[in-house]
Amino acid sequence: MRPVRVAVDAMGGDYAPQEIVKGAIRAAGSDGIEITLVGPEDAIHRELEKYDIAGVPIHVVNASEVIQEGDSPVAAMREKPDASILVAIRLVKRGEADAVVSIGYTGAVMVAAIEILGKLEGVKRPSAGGLLCRFAPRSVLFDMGPNADCKPRDLLNFAVIGSVAARRILGIDNPTVALLSNGSEEGKGNLLVKKAYQLFKQSHLNFIGNIEGNDIPFGRANVIVCDGFTGNILLKFCEGLGEAVVERVKTALDKRLPEEEIEIVASSLFAWTHAAEEGAPIYGVDGVVVIGHGRSHAPQLASAIQMAKLAVESNLVEELKLELGKVKTEG
C-alpha cells in the first residue's frame, strides 16, 4: 500500500511549531505515513534541524500567515489567503495530500474545511464526535459541539455518522445506536428526542432506544446521539469532573502511597476522563480533516496523525457519503 500523505498545520496550537514538528517526526517514523509540514519554511526548518531526520518521509510547504484564535474565521479566509491551515487543506483538495491534521483554532479549521472541501450531501453543518470518556472505549457520542440547535433529522444524520465512525474507527460491526434522554422508555425526552425517536425507529439503524446519562460511562450503546449543545456540555463536564476527582484522589492518597504510585493512579484517571485529547475527524466534509486539542504536545499530535491515517485507509469519507445517501429517504 502506498503511504498515507498527511498535511500537518505546523502553526496551530499552544506549542507550535516545536511540539508539532516533534510529533510529526514521530509519526513519520512509523510505517505508511508521509508528512508535509505546512507553515513558515524558515521556522519549520529551524525546528527540523534539531533532529536526525535522514530517510524520514517529511516535507515542508511554505505558508506565510497564521489564523489565530480571535480572528473571525470567515474574514480570515479572505484576509490571510496564505494561512497555514488554508494551504494545508488546499493540498488535500488538489489531491496532493490525503488528509489534514490541525490543532489550531477549531472554528477556523471547520470553516476552511467546509469552504475548500465542501460538505457531503445532506449535511447542514459538519459534526464532531468520538469517545466521550475512556471508560466506554466502544462508544462514540455525536454531536459534541458544532450543532447546538438541532432538528430530529439532524440527530438521524448524527446516528448515521456515528455508526460509520463506530464501524470504521472502532471496528464494530453493526453498532447499536441510542438516543440520549432523560428516561429510558419510549416517550421520555424533550420534544426533539421524542420526535427523533420515531425517525430512528423507522430507519435502518440498529436502534436500541433511549439511554440515560448514567449509562454513558458503561458503554450501553456504541453510538450515543444528542444535540451538540448537550454533547459539548457533557464533554467538558466529564473533563472538569475528571480534574476534580484527580485532585481529590491525590489528597486522599497523600502519604498513604509513594508519590510515583499516586501519580500513576492520577494520570490514568485524567486520561480516562479526557478522551478527546487525541484528535478526531470532522465528519461531513468531503475530505479527511482531523482536529486536535490546542494544548496537544508531540504524543497527542502523533496520535492525531495516526487517526488521519486510519480515516484515510478505512475509506471513512466514501462510507459516509454512501450511508448519508441511504438515510436521505428515511424520515
Which chain residues interact with a second copy by CB under 8 A? 133, 135, 145, 148-149, 180-182, 189-191, 193, 212-218, 226-230, 232-241, 243-245, 248-249, 252-253, 256-257, 261, 264-265, 268-269, 272-273
Contact residues for 11 (Cβ-Cβ < 8 A; gap 6+): 17, 20, 38, 39, 40, 63, 66, 84, 85, 104
Work out how close the CB of 185 gets to a second copy at its nearest, in angstroms, rounded to a whole number. Answer: 11
Work out how close the CB of 108 gets to a second copy at its nearest, in angstroms, rounded to a whole number. Answer: 15
Contact residues for 106 (Cβ-Cβ < 8 A; gap 6+): 291, 294
Work out how close the CB of 186 gets to a second copy at its nearest, in angstroms, rounded to a whole number. Answer: 15
Work out how close the CB of 21 gets to a second copy at its nearest, in angstroms, rounded to a whole number. Answer: 29
Of 268, 284, 293, the closest CA to residue 316 belongs to: 284
Contact (CB, 8 A) for 128 and 287: no
| 22: its cell numbers | 516533534
Work out how close the CB of 235 gets to a second copy at its nearest, in angstroms, rounded to a whole number. Answer: 7
Contact (CB, 8 A) for 153 and 198: no
Contact residues for 74 (Cβ-Cβ < 8 A; gap 6+): 111
Contact (CB, 8 A) for 149 and 232: no
| 127: its cell numbers | 459534526
Using the minimum distance from each CB to a second copy, give the nearer residue, 39 or 146: 146
Using the minimum distance from each CB to a second copy, give the nearer residue, 128 or 310: 128
Using the minimum distance from each CB to a second copy, give the nearer residue, 160 or 269: 269
Cell 478527546 -> residue: 276
Using the minimum distance from each CB to a second copy, give the nearer residue, 53 or 246: 246
Using the minimum distance from each CB to a second copy, give the nearer residue, 15 or 135: 135
Work out how close the CB of 164 gets to a second copy at its nearest, in angstroms, rounded to a whole number. Answer: 24
Using the minimum distance from each CB to a second copy, give the nearer residue, 67 or 238: 238
Cα angle vertex 11, ends 10, 16, to 5°? 90
Work out how close the CB of 192 gets to a second copy at its nearest, in angstroms, rounded to a whole number. Answer: 8
Please give the helix or strand (H or E) that residue 199 lies within, else none.
helix 191-202
Eight-state DSSP code of residue 71: B
| 73: its cell numbers | 474565521
Eight-state DSSP code of residue 2: P
The span from the CA of 232 to the CA of 328, in Å, is 26
Using the minimum distance from each CB to a second copy, give the nearer residue, 96 or 259: 259
